[in-house]
Chains A and B, each alone.
Chain A
């Protein structure tokens, strides 16, 4: 027992063991909660069927080639990168509030940063599963392969991941401040991005008054870059650079926001909402 104790008490400032434990905690929940598989299996499947079929129909009606279908499919598949990375972290945190486990967690050596990193790693696992689902569905039903975008896909996915995590930090900050009434924002935030980022269309197709908002979103530049690549054009690195910079600024602001909301959460004793 002595060696066990000494190893338990030797606590580094940042512990990957605790990060792995957070991942394990949420993996157990996922395994035991069939409704959580909707995020990974059902919604991705429905989205691909919906947008793929819409693209095929429009192409058929216009007696045109199926050129529109790959744009719609690539858009919704990349949107899922953003959605999955955001929703895994947001609902992971909400799980602690739903199961009234927050005070239990806060009274262990687990650090906030370890918790967030653990949720992000868990989210990557969910993302891989969901992307496998959308890729297989798109390939099987519409013969579309997202890999045709090429290596430019790597920075695109990276930027979308960062934006997804940043959004989840904003959602968690609002949950810390406003409690369960802010839960709807976990879903609403990504759909706001979906409608303003030109996931399927250029910015010019968005109503004029909303276009300035659309242009400042890093995701708008990412989806535009993906369309360029699909059209066989060279990678628009300047657009991707602007998007990467925007994503980093958003991530920094979201970290400041959630840190302040956590301090407010502790200051106002909001933990008693969940105990």
Chain B
């Protein structure tokens, strides 16, 4: 039996963005296939968030092109956003709404009728184990609950691509585990591609199958976590991260740092 051709959900080429005299992104190319799980990594100031915002059409690149699920930005932005879900751990929901109302509104923006939207919201909340939050005011959510509700919002329309900016930042390990499990379920069950930024390299290795490291606004490495670690001569992604951040730490020092955590 022939393997069906793999579709491309995201294609970005030659992305350039400068703010004043600072070149934040300098010629980034990124292609993501249907169902692929990719991490966009790099130290602070590497250009991750700017790249994400350009991929989402929220920031206009100085040069380059972005195609999302076959829709060219910026012209096809509305149609493209119908194929993409976005979650950021730092983004709150409208605070004067109940969770159910806020999600119902987003369902409306994705084109669901009121009745279909409410049904999709109820199903989504149950799917991620947060059905009990439906009548909670958004302003009362903890950061972990907000992230889980954010994922419910992002997958309402069964997107082809889920973009997550720091989804587990500042979450307790148990909540981070629930978020990761939920995302892996979405990827496995819906065939949704993931594009994740994170500073947690352990999480990245568990959640994704490919990492793209940015440094100085350019792609410094692209491959599986093991390939990238090997290419930089480190045992894991944390070593690569520190290397690209300009802080070279010997592997035995990393092992020393890991020892108390593992013992604990």
Contacts and interface: CB of A to CB of B under 8 A. Distances in A.
Contacts of A99: 92-96
Interface string B225-252: 0000000000000000000000000000
Contacts of B56: 106-107
Contacts of B107: 8
Main secondary structure of the interface of A (DSSP, over half): helix
A32 B102 CA distance: 13
Contacts of B108: 17-18, 20-21, 24
Contacts of B153: 104
Interface in B32-59: 49-50, 53, 56-59
Interface residues of A, number: 40
Nearest to A268: B19
B119 interface: yes
A107 B58 contact: yes
B113 A106 contact: no
A266 B109 contact: no
B91 A104 contact: yes
A19 to B, nearest CB: 10
Contact of B111 (A9, A13, A101, A272): A9
A108 interface: yes
A62 interface: no
A104 B97 CA distance: 14
Given A29-B96, A107-B58, A275-B91, A8 B111 contact: yes
8 contacts: A8-B110, A17-B108, A29-B94, A32-B97, A95-B94, A103-B88, A109-B82, A109-B111
Interface of A: 4-5, 7-11, 13, 15, 17-18, 20-21, 24-25, 28-29, 32-33, 95, 99-101, 103-111, 263, 266-269, 271-272, 275
